Amino acid sequence: MPTMQRARLCALCDTCRLRKRWLWRHEGATKNPGPGPETTLCVTDIENSTLLWEELDAQVMDTAVKTHNVCIRKLAAKYKG
């Protein structure tokens, strides 16, 4: 790949990365409220996860945990939590 094309590609990748970071900070991020009467601790679990870890492949459970975390994060962002 010629040097000029490589430089343009790197600049485009950097621009996309910075834009994603900016959007996350300004549109999708939630701030930690800190300790106080308005703070609630939410603890979640995958039902029967210990048994599932023993019975299923680790890759399957990794996917399940990632899916669980994505769902919780989306709900927390949606409800400003």
CB 42 within 8 A of CB 61: no
Instruction: Name the pLDDT band for 67 (thresholds 50, 70, 90).
Output: very high
CB 64 within 8 A of CB 52: yes
Domains of the chain by residue range = 1-30, 31-81
* Residue 29 confidence (pLDDT) above 60: no
pLDDT at 26: 62
State the pTM of this model.
0.53
The Cα-based distances of 32 to 25, 38, 39, 73, 77 in angstroms read: 13, 11, 9, 13, 12
Higher pLDDT, 35 or 12: 35
* Residue 32 confidence (pLDDT) above 70: no
Nearest alpha carbon to residue 65 among 81, 49, 48, 51: 49
